[in-house]
């Protein structure tokens, strides 16, 4: 028996677990026609997590720092099933900053086995837009 893939609509809880509906949280950033711009590094972090859940490769690539951006992503064949995000702390990364970091724990399953990823992600603002730069894994 195969598990059904979760369906996300504008009226479902946002995958980033902010407590808001998808339409009120990450969906405006993920809109392919007229995306909103994240005001903080945390907003970008949350929207990128949601993009992983929703397999939105385009958004992930466009919000990756141009000097660090991979040529492509293949999320369609990923075995990761993202199940939770917890923001532990943020340093700088506010609308008036040009750099920031977000310490988070993301939970996921691969082949039904629960895993966790804890990292400190670094972000940089260029011309008013936040970009993901790199991450430091926390063991």
Q: How confident is the model at residue 6 (pLDDT cuts 50, 70, 90)?
A: low
Residue 113 sits in a domain whose CATH number is 3.10.450.50
Q: What is the pLDDT of residue 8?
A: 74
Q: How far is CA 90 from CA 21, 35, 123, in A?
A: 22, 24, 11
Q: Which domain holds residue 33?
A: 22-137
Establish if 39 belongs to a structural domain: yes
- Among all chains, which residue has been given the structure tokens 């629960």? 114
Q: What is the pLDDT of residue 4?
A: 45
User: Does the structure show a pLDDT above 80 at 3?
Assistant: no
- For 63-98, the pLDDT digits (tens) are 999 999 999 999 988 889 999 999 999 999 999 999
User: Could you give the residue ranges of the DSSP H alpha helices within 1-120?
Assistant: 27-30, 41-54, 57-62
Establish if 94 belongs to a structural domain: yes
């Amino acid at each position: 028996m195969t598990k059904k893939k979760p369906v996300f609509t504008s009226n479902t809880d946002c995958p980033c677990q902010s407590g808001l509906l998808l339409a009120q949280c990450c969906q405006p950033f993920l809109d392919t026609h007229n995306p909103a711009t994240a005001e903080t590094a945390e907003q970008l972090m949350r929207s990128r997590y949601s993009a992983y859940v929703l397999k939105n490769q385009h958004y992930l690539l466009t919000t990756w720092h141009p000097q660090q951006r991979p040529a492509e992503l293949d999320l369609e064949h990923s075995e990761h099933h993202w199940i939770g995000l917890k923001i532990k702390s943020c340093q700088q990364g506010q609308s008036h900053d040009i750099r920031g970091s977000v310490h988070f724990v993301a939970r996921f399953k691969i082949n039904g086995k629960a895993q966790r990823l804890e990292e400190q992600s670094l972000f940089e603002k260029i011309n008013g837009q936040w970009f993901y730069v790199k991450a430091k894994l926390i063991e």
